[in-house]
Amino acid sequence: MKLHIKSILYITLCCLCAQLTYAQEELNVYSARKEALIKPLLDQFAASHNVKVNLVTGKADALIERLNNEGKHSPADVLITVDAGRLHRAKQAELLQPITDASILALAPVQYRDPDGYWLGLSMRARAIIFDPTSVKVEDLSTYENLVDTKWKNRICIRSSNNIYNQSLVASFIAHHGIEKTQGWANKFVQNFARKPQGGDRDQVKAVAAGQCDIAIVNSYYLGNMMKGSEEEQAAAAKVKLFWPNQNDRGTHVNISGIGITKNAKNTAPAQELIKFLYTEKSQAWYADVNLEFPVIEGVASNSILENWGAFKADTLNLSQLGELNATAVQVMDKAKWR
**Count of CB atoms situated within 10 Å of the CB of 69:** 9
Does one domain contain both 116 and 130?
no
Is 265 part of any domain? yes
Does one domain contain both 327 and 292?
no
Does one domain contain both 245 and 263?
no
3-class DSSP assignment, residue 121: strand
* pLDDT value at residue 23: 59
Domain count, the chain: 2
Is 308 part of any domain? no
Task: Report the candidate in 337, 315, 287 with the shortest Cα–Cα distance to residue 169.
Answer: 315
**Count of CB atoms situated within 10 Å of the CB of 320:** 21
Residues 6 or more apart in contact with residue 215 via CB below 8 angstroms? 129, 130, 131, 132, 136, 141, 147, 152, 155, 156, 157, 208
* pLDDT value at residue 303: 85
Is 323 part of any domain? yes
Can you give the residue range of the structural domain that contains 279? 2-124+255-302
Does one domain contain both 213 and 82?
no
* pLDDT value at residue 214: 98
* pLDDT value at residue 301: 76
Does one domain contain both 44 and 74?
yes
Q: Are strands 78-82 and 25-31 parallel, antiparallel or unpaired?
A: parallel
User: 54: domain CATH number?
Assistant: 3.40.190.10
Does one domain contain both 164 and 36?
no
Can you give the pLDDT of all 339 residues of the chain as single tens digits? 444 544 444 444 444 444 443 457 999 999 999 999 999 999 999 999 999 999 999 999 999 999 999 999 999 999 999 999 999 999 999 999 999 999 999 999 999 999 999 999 999 999 999 999 999 999 999 999 999 999 999 999 999 999 999 999 999 999 999 999 999 999 999 999 999 999 999 999 999 999 999 999 999 999 999 999 999 999 999 999 999 999 999 999 999 999 999 999 999 999 999 999 999 999 999 988 998 999 999 888 778 899 999 999 999 999 999 999 999 999 999 999 999
Does one domain contain both 87 and 164?
no
Give the pTM.
0.90
**Count of CB atoms situated within 10 Å of the CB of 206:** 22
* pLDDT value at residue 20: 40
Listed in order, strand segments (DSSP E) in 22-118 are: 25-31, 51-57, 78-82, 96-97
